[in-house]
Amino acid sequence: MTALKARLTDNAAWTTASPAVSVLIPFLRDDPSDLLRLLDQEAATVDGAVEIVVLDDGTADAELTARLVRQVKAMALPVRLITLPANEGRAIGRNRLASTARGGSLLFLDSDMRPDHSRFLADWAKLVATEDPAVAFGGFSLLQAPTDARYQVHRSMAARSECVPCAERARQPEKYVYTSNLLVRRDVFDSEAFDPGFTGWGWEDVEWAMRVSRRFRVVHLDNPATHMGLDTVEALARKYEQSAPNFARMVERHPGIVAAYPSYRAAKLLKTIPGLPLLRGLVRRMAGTDALPVATRAFCLRLYRATLYADAV
């Protein structure tokens, strides 16, 4: 694949910075300005240890770009904005961010995350200075996430599967690794980059963690950020539809590990059921029915995902 021509915007602090931690923020059609503002409030407390690299992965919004350029140039933290004319994809984009970063540790942070406290960057920088872990995950929360009724199904699902306490995550460290609020030491990333064969949405972070956990220790800590980007049922269903080929790729590469996943066991069972397309349509409609309890709708959406994966495995 031919590399896309990128537009680079650096602020004044970027040129002379020697960071230990590079915060890597990819986005597509989102606005990362609130996250950048919150991170920049910690500039005085991290004492030059942190830089930020932001990747616009093909949003093609001239107004947003102009606004971000102004914001980046005014920031106290060292910042580089990379603007691409077209989308490269999540895995390739993260690899591009890593190749631009100068820190010895890379902190992947999605643009729809918000730190849950005012020492977020300082705590990450302190961890790197004192322990220099190979891989560390700080955790997700829903503390600041929207509470609109249209997001209640996603909120329910995220609370169950993603917003897991640190002690519980540490018992299965390789399972609870997501590419947001994830710290990776540079030598680890250089030896195990994200697989560019994963396209669209889903599973590239889990597959990466499977490879990494075989060679390096994964640390979990309590330094959470809120996942602000809750989706409606319709949006989640579309993402699950995109993710089926990625799930199949992961199964092909790591059959022994994936065999223990509930999503895989459910998909294999559903594959044997006659009339699977009818069931898929039914649970999809039930997930979108506002009159049903949130727990029921969340179960139906998980079952819908399993029916999609049944065709992939």
Name the band, by pLDDT with cuts 50, 70 and 90, for residue 209: confident
Spans of all domains in the chain: 7-230, 236-312
Name the band, by pLDDT with cuts 50, 70 and 90, for residue 187: very high
Q: At what angle do helices 294-312 and 262-271 cross, to 10 degrees?
A: 70
Span 222-246, average pLDDT? 94
Q: Side chain identity at 281, as an amino acid letter?
A: G
CATH class of segment(s) 7-230: alpha beta
Q: What is the pLDDT of residue 91?
A: 74
- Helix (H/G/I), strand (E/B), else coil: 238: helix
| Residue 25: count of CB within 10 angstroms of its CB | 24
Mean pLDDT, all residues of the chain: 93
pTM of the predicted model as reported, rounded to 2 decimal places: 0.87
Could you tell me which residues are beta bridge partners of residue 135? 184, 218
Q: Which residue has the higher pLDDT, 202 or 21?
A: 21
Q: What is the pLDDT of residue 165?
A: 93
DSSP annotation of 3 reads P
Q: What is the pLDDT of residue 5?
A: 85
Separation between Cα atoms, residue 229 and residue 246, nearest integer Å: 21
Q: What is the pLDDT of residue 100?
A: 94
Q: What is the pLDDT of residues 65-76, one digit of tens each?
A: 999 999 999 999
Task: Give me 40's structure tokens.
Answer: 């920049």
Q: What is the pLDDT of residue 3?
A: 63
Buried b (16+ CB within 10 A) or exposed e, 209-225: bbbbbeebebbbbebbb
Q: What is the pLDDT of residue 2?
A: 52
Q: Which residue has the higher pLDDT, 65 or 256?
A: 65
DSSP annotation of 176 reads S
Task: Give me 251's structure tokens.
Answer: 């199964």
Taken in order 232, 238, 244, 249, the sign of the CA dihedral is negative
High-pLDDT (> 70) share of the chain, %: 99
Q: What is the pLDDT of residue 1?
A: 45
CB-based contacts of 142: which residues, under 8 Å, 6+ apart? 155, 158, 159, 163, 226, 227
Q: What is the pLDDT of residue 282?
A: 97
Res. 194: pLDDT tops 90? no
Q: What is the pLDDT of residues 33-60, one digit of tens each?
A: 999 999 999 999 999 999 999 999 999 8
Span 182-191, average pLDDT? 94
Strands (E), the chain: 7-10, 21-27, 50-56, 79-83, 105-108, 113-115, 135-137, 140-141, 182-185, 218-220, 225-227
The backbone torsions φ and ψ at residue 70, rounded to the nearest 5 degrees and listed phi first, read -65, -40
Span 87-110, average pLDDT? 90
Separation between Cα atoms, residue 265 and residue 261, nearest integer Å: 6
